[in-house]
Amino acid sequence: MAVGGTIGRMSDFRVVIAGGGIAAVEGLLRLRRLVDDSLDLRLLAPDDDLVYRPTAVRQPFAFGPPKRHSLDRIAADTGAEYIRDSLASVDRDARVVGTGGGQTLEFDALLVAVGARQVPAYPHVGTFSDAEADETYQGVVQDVEGGYAKSIAFLVPEGPVYPLPIYELALLTAERAYSMGIDDFEVSVVTPEPSPLAVFGQAASEAVSRLLEDAGITVYASAVAEVLEVGRLLIQPQGVELHPQRMVAMPRLEGPAIPGLGGGGPHGFIPIDNSCCVPGTQARIYAAGDAAAYPVKHGGLGAQMADTAASAIARLAGADVDYTEFLPTIRGKLLTGKAPLYISARVVGPSGFLSEVHDKPPWPEDDKIVAEELGPYLAQLDAHPA
């Protein structure tokens, strides 16, 4: 299943896309569609598969693992060369990337979409990882089901984090307990946000707050969690001390720290401009997804960055493509244990996001996040796996 037409002779314009996640594959698909067969494309990724991690939060609740799709297959469909290796360094002036395996790859344009590093934020607390959802949370679910854990505190650290999963985990866990007749189950969420999911805008925050309240989940907002020891939690500035039997936290995110491609700010993410270009790289290097310095981390935003970068790279390669600017819009699905909540939010100046909530999806129902190229492509793969 070729994407963008029959692949013919490649030109001398060399594009390296580093990463194997949503943003990287979205950029690959968009670039191939815009420029068709006139690029020398290389996909550099350390893993064998694209894993659809937005659905990983369901795995510990026996809904099955996230879907996986072969990067080798994706590269073949787009006429790209797939190189199973990691991005280790970038030489901006020589336009060369170094790989973890010791290779050097020349490029005329580079898209860095390698994701962020997930770092535990608290001692004595389990950290949820979407890459290892079963390993990091299935035991908690089993303890709840067995009646061994009657209280859980979910912690959101300060700094960059994935905003959605902690609320999904809280709602899914509470629903599992109540569905089994465990009525004396206590769930708390501690977040530095002024209200749950406030970063997505007022309408989304109010809808999520109602869901949490209806589920009997106590929320401590504008709060910092201090883990004093195992099973002992102090919430400031409220001054509330809890003794939950289990504590689970989201990881704090840090930038990829690639030599030669320094990050900006305290967390080391790669700075980008409105075209997702890394400043000072003569419009040759772009970043997208969690690796980029944008305060909200969400797969749909990463896909939009990749689309913006792909348009800029296509113009650089000589294609007649209109200029596109990164105008953040979030479209995604919040899993609740009951009917999902569909959220759309668009950025409104410096004040944040203006959001809407929907009971029925305004986009394909199976899309946990919306990626304009990746969504239809994965649907084709699912329909025609061979």
Token pair belonging to 114 = 């390698």
pLDDT at 10: 39
76 sits in which H/E element: helix 71-78
Segment 319-334, tens digit of pLDDT: 999 988 999 998 999 9
At residue 9 the predicted structure's pLDDT band, cuts being 50, 70 and 90, is very low
Instruction: State which amino acid sits at residue 65.
Output: P
Contact (CB, 8 A) for 301 and 330 = yes
User: Which CATH number describes the domain made up of 14-116+255-326?
Assistant: 3.50.50.60
Average pLDDT over residues 58-78: 95
SS3 200: helix
Q: Which are the contacts of 243, defined by CB distance < 8 A and separation ≥ 6?
A: 151, 231, 232, 233
**pTM of the predicted model, to two decimals?**
0.93
Segment 331-342, tens digit of pLDDT: 999 999 999 999
Domain boundaries, the chain: 14-116+255-326, 119-252
Segment 113-128, tens digit of pLDDT: 999 999 999 999 999 9
Q: Which residues pair with 123 in a beta bridge?
A: none
186 sits in which H/E element: strand 186-190
Q: Which residues pair with 131 in a beta bridge?
A: none
CA dist list (Å): 246 to 94, 143, 220, 231, 304: 51, 9, 17, 7, 37
- Whether 119-252 and 14-116+255-326 are alike in CATH topology: the answer is yes
CA distance 25 to 372: 11
Segment 251-269, tens digit of pLDDT: 999 999 899 987 776 788 9
SS3 242: strand
Contact (CB, 8 A) for 368 and 51 = no
DSSP letter for 133, please.
Answer: H
Q: Edge-to-edge strands of the sheet including 224-229?
A: 224-229, 232-236, 240-242
Contact (CB, 8 A) for 244 and 254 = no
In this structure, the number of other CB atoms found within 10 A of the CB of residue 358 comes to 15
CATH ID of 119-252, from 3.50.50.60, 3.40.50.1820, 1.10.10.10, 3.30.530.20? 3.50.50.60
Phi-psi domain of 344 (left: phi exceeds 0; alpha: psi -120 through 50; beta: other): beta
pLDDT at 349: 66
CA distance 340 to 369: 13
pLDDT-above-90 percentage for the chain: 85
